[in-house]
A and B are shown apart, each in its own frame.
Chain A
């Protein structure tokens, strides 16, 4: 349990790893109905919800104008500082 959650936390650089992080944590802290079952069912649910997110992101990206795809954070980084 310790190595697994620490590994996921350390490698958390993508949305997929964050999905795993969220569902593994939830399985560990529920503590009922069997840890292994909770983990397996949780990871299965994570994969399905990730697939939904992937499709939604594709649809939203396709519907957005090119200039709108950048996040507020990126806009801020790429903006020209005032003189």
Chain B
């Protein structure tokens, strides 16, 4: 073969690339160190440029905490081969994915976004770090003996599959019932669960079947019985329908969660490592879903659908005609820090947490010492047994009310609730236990 032929040329490039890859692999630590140092330098320049001296110091320290957090969380999510681990029977890896989404990503936005100020950056960062380390310690405190497995025989697997079909039908009925009552589109009407038995049963019981059904169906799909094939098909159909329902109902968090759980259910009990391509595909779908949901919301879907007798039909008509999909709103709907945008909704829970910390610093405020837990304990008594059961407040409104804070819609995540109850020991003990 001649030296100048295209084949030889291609081989030379391939050899060169593989040689480069091998060199990078061999010198991995200096490479990581270079990347981290560069990131630190860039962050230093940016932070120094945009913030006052006091803000700069706090944000710089918070950024260092963030870097440590990101390293720890990503080392749990990614394997040594660089693939993402998504396995529900390995809690340390699995919860890290959600920890990154709920805490690390929003904290990154808070630290690096100059439009967000007045947050207790360092304390919020330290709380996230303590929570993550405590969860890790909790997981590592119990040793596992072998791979967990649940043996299902034919009757058990078919009974479980039929149970999941019933659960799925109930979830479908819940959304049909919400559509009939004008509460399908989440942000159209201010909605509180009614005190009648039907709404209590649907919202408190059926609503909680939505996500576990994926796992239960996944168990049947992973069995070696005749029910495995219909179970796999069921997961795919359920994934598609719940994804579309949550997309239409403007619930981004659920939309993303069902995507992850659908994949997990199809690969339960496997040492599931995801290729980069699939991670990118999933991330792209999530970003597009987020942009769509928040653009529709910014186009006035909330007020437009508040009086509708069929919100799904009117939403479809509004989106297809372009009335409820104003693309000029895309930028502000996604990147603005207002509470209604994607970024705004992502950072609000941590800002709420920071506000709770600031309020608890004042002498007039005191820790809950378990009062929200006791309140929630009463809440689970069914209305069938407690006829005169009063209307219960949501946990976030309960906490805001006790601390005398103004009411803004933001979720009370575990970090906040543990801190509100018992302060720093609460975070450590709560995430550990």
Interfacial residues, chain A to chain B (CB-CB below 8 A): 1-7, 9-10, 12-15, 17-19, 21-23, 25-38, 40-42, 44-46, 48-49, 52-54, 56-57, 59-61, 64, 68-74, 76
Contact = CB atoms under 8 A, between A and B. Distances in A.
Give the interface centre of A1, A9, A68, A76 by most chain B CB atoms within 10 Å.
Answer: A1
Contacts of B138: 1-4, 6
B160 A53 contact: yes
A25 B88 contact: yes
B142 interface: yes
Contacts of A61: 155
Contact of A49 (B150, B163, B210, B433): B163
Nearest to A17: B150
B273 interface: no
Interface of B: 88-91, 94-95, 98, 102, 134-145, 148-160, 162-163, 166-167, 204-205, 208-212, 215-216, 219, 223-226, 253, 257, 372-373, 376-377, 379-380, 394-396, 411-414, 417, 430-433
Contact of A2 (B136, B160, B257): B136
Nearest to A24: B212
A37 B216 contact: no
A45 B90 CA distance: 24
B88 to A, nearest CB: 6
A56 B216 CA distance: 15
B208 A34 contact: no
A28 B95 contact: yes
A6 B98 CA distance: 16
Contacts of A59: 159
Given A23-B208, A74-B153, 17 more contacts: A1-B95, A2-B140, A2-B432, A5-B139, A6-B139, A26-B212, A26-B215, A27-B208, A29-B257, A31-B253, A31-B414, A33-B395, A36-B377, A44-B380, A46-B212, A48-B205, A56-B163
